[in-house]
């Protein structure tokens, strides 16, 4: 039994919410690893030439879905533990922007200096609004689309949380049921979005409405933990008590997503039908990976994800996300090798260590100082590296809406 937990593995009673679950850092490491592998496979051409292995690597964009689900869980959990009457939205937005933008701008500045994209594209990316403009695309920073999606979620979440809070005061069990009911329409909405040519059209498929299902998965789990006696929570916990079958379900959904049923694995127009199927499967995968951790934080699965090396990678995963694609593209440029013409092993062998070094530097010299600055503005203690404080890590704080993480996507 994990010390400090109830006899059933749940957190101690109170608000029902654990203050920090180290396994979530491990999940970030898993998510960013598959994102990195996907972009390496795409650039090397392995997605189209590697057979089944290539197809498995090609759907690693589901790491994005997991990042979105983590954001939904951690940020909504913050609103559940922060009294609405005392919640300072200015502090919330300051912390979100301080967590995301400084490191993002530094990486973007390096990309702009080396790649020299059109000025308009540079400005749109700096403002993180590139997904709302037609054809705004910087190839060596194309993963940054998800920053814009995350920021739109950050913007709207306080409104959603306030509405749920009012509903909760009248009917305590209603918010969880409502979020579960909304999950189906959210996936259906993705299926109604028209296909777009990412090189020329406005990429509506990257807007928040198309990705809302993944955020909802995390929000549902946060609500479930806050209401441990809710019938939905009891069913979720019963279904995830043994992680093996749940992870097998997620694996089956992932395999299905590598088939033509979920659309292309590479650049190209994706139909609304394929996008809807892809979003449904991504919700299943992200939920299967996340639910056993947060519902059974004392499980062996959670303990494995909480291993120190995985937590370390999870803490610097935002920097890994920001820097891996520019590093990969730069390696091709410096070596003279042709993109889409092989070199996966060499790309990973050289590019990953360089990326890890840059990510560690970003975390130590940019991200932590920015988080501490934002914390001082809120008059709360500043985090210390390795302190276990989820603000010091890349996790949003459990006691207030706090830093979350963007992610990348392979079809760019």
Write down the pLDDT at residue 378. Answer: 63
Residue range 306-320: average pLDDT?
Answer: 97
Q: What tokens were used for 359?
A: 């990510």
pLDDT at 148: 97
CB 187 within 8 A of CB 261: no
The yes-or-no verdict on residue 153 having pLDDT over 50 is yes
Residue 22: name the closest of 397, 391, 390 by CA.
390
The predicted structure's pLDDT at residue 361: 98
**Least confident among 95-99, 190-194, 256-260:** 190-194
**80 assigned to some structural domain:** yes
**Rounded alpha-carbon distances, angstroms, from residue 39 to 142, 157, 183, 281:** 10, 30, 29, 20
Residue whose tokens read 């920015």: 370
Between CA 410 and CA 16 the distance in angstroms is 36
Q: Which of 293, 312, 306, 275 is nearest to 386 (CA)?
A: 312
Between 141 and 83, the higher pLDDT residue: 141
Q: Is residue 12 part of a domain?
A: no
Residue 10 located in a structural domain: no
8 Å CB contact between 270 and 8: no
Distance of CA 24 to the CA centre of its chain: 11
Q: What is the mean pLDDT of residues 145-174?
A: 95
Residue 396: pLDDT band (50, 70, 90) is very low
For residue 333, pLDDT beyond 70: yes
Assess if residue 11 is contained within a domain.
Answer: no
pLDDT for residue 86: 58
Query: Which two structure tokens, joined as six digits, stand for 315?
Result: 């803490």
Give the N- to C-terminal CA distance of the chain in Å, as an integer.
44
82-129 pLDDT, tens digit per residue, is: 665 556 788 899 999 999 999 999 999 999 999 999 999 999 999 999
Mean pLDDT of 400-407: 36
What are the tokens at 83? 């009294």
pLDDT at residue 168 is higher than 80: yes
Is the model more confident about 379 or about 295? Answer: 295
Work out the pLDDT band at 177, boundaries 50, 70, 90.
Answer: very high
Domain that holds residue 54: 23-377
User: What stretch of H or E contains 300?
Assistant: helix 300-305
Q: What distances in angstroms separate CA 220 from CA 74, 242, 393, one per listed residue?
A: 11, 20, 23
Lowest average pLDDT, out of 220-234, 270-284, 312-326, goes to 270-284
State the pLDDT at residue 241: 96
pLDDT, residue 242, reads: 95
- The pLDDT, as a whole number, for residue 201 is 80
Q: How confident is the model at residue 60 (pLDDT cuts 50, 70, 90)?
A: confident
Q: Is the pLDDT of residue 405 over 90?
A: no
Q: Identify the band that residue 391 occupies on the pLDDT scale cut at 50, 70 and 90.
A: very low
Q: What is the pLDDT of residues 231-242, one digit of tens each?
A: 999 999 999 999
52-56, 117-121, 123-127, 348-352: least confidently modelled range: 52-56
Q: How many structural domains compose the chain?
A: 1
| DSSP one-letter code for 261 | G
- In order of 52, 62, 283, the CA distances from 250 in angstroms are 18, 11, 9
Residue 206 tokens read as 């990257």
Please give the residue that has the higher pLDDT: either 380 or 347: 347
Cβ atoms within 10 Å of 318's Cβ, excluding its own: 29
- Mean of per-residue pLDDT scores for the chain: 86
Task: With CA atoms as reference, report the closest residue to 206 among 128, 260, 288.
Answer: 128
Query: Does residue 349 surpass a pLDDT of 60?
Result: yes
| CA 179 to chain CA centroid, nearest Å | 19
Any alpha helices (H) in 87-173, and if so which ranges? 89-115, 119-126, 145-170
pLDDT tens for 266-281 read 767 788 888 999 999 9
pLDDT at 372 over 50: yes
56 has a pLDDT exceeding 50: yes
Residue 410: pLDDT above 60? no
CA distance to 156, 194, 342, 367, 377, per residue, from 370 (Å): 23, 39, 39, 5, 11
Q: What is the pTM of this model?
A: 0.88
Please tell me the least confidently modeled range out of 172-181, 217-226, 243-252, 258-267: 258-267
| pLDDT for the residue 403 | 34
Average confidence (pLDDT) over 29-46: 96
């Amino acid at each position: 039994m994990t010390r400090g937990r109830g006899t059933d593995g749940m957190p101690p009673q109170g608000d029902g919410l654990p203050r920090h679950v180290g396994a979530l850092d491990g999940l970030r490491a898993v998510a960013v690893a598959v994102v990195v592998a996907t972009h390496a496979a795409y650039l090397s051409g392995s997605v189209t030439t590697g057979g089944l292995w290539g197809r498995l690597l090609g759907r690693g964009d589901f790491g994005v879905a997991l990042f979105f689900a983590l954001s939904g869980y951690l940020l909504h959990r913050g609103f559940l533990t922060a009294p609405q009457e005392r919640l300072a939205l200015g502090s919330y937005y300051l912390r979100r922007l301080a967590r995301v933008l400084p490191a993002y701008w530094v990486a973007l500045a390096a990309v702009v200096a080396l790649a020299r994209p059109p000025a308009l594209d540079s400005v749109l990316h700096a403002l993180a609004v590139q997904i709302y403009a037609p054809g705004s695309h910087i190839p060596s920073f194309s993963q940054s689309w998800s920053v814009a999606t995350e920021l739109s979620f950050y913007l709207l979440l306080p409104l959603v949380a306030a509405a749920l809070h009012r509903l909760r005061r009248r009917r305590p069990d209603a918010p969880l049921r409502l979020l579960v009911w909304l999950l189906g329409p959210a996936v259906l909405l993705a299926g109604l979005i028209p296909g777009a040519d990412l090189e020329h059209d406005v990429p509506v498929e990257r807007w928040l409405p198309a990705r809302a299902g993944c955020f909802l998965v995390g929000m549902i789990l946060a609500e479930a933990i806050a209401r441990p006696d809710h019938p939905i929570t009891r069913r979720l916990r019963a279904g995830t008590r043994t992680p093996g079958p749940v992870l097998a379900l997620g694996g089956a959904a992932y395999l299905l997503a590598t088939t033509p049923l979920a659309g292309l694995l590479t650049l190209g127009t994706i139909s609304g039908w394929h996008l809807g199927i892809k979003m449904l499967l991504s919700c299943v995968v992200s939920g299967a990976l996340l639910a056993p951790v947060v519902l059974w934080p004392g499980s062996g699965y959670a303990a494995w994800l909480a291993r120190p090396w995985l937590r370390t990678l999870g803490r610097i995963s935002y920097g890994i996300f920001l820097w891996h694609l520019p590093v990969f593209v730069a390696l091709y440029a410096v070596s003279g090798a042709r993109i889409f013409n092989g070199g996966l092993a060499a790309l990973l062998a050289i590019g990953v260590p360089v990326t890890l070094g840059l990510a560690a530097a970003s975390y130590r010299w940019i991200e932590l100082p920015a988080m501490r600055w934002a914390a001082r503005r809120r008059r709360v203690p500043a985090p210390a590296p390795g302190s276990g404080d989820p603000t010091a890590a890349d996790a949003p704080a459990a006691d207030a809406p706090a830093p979350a993480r963007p992610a990348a996507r392979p079809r760019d």
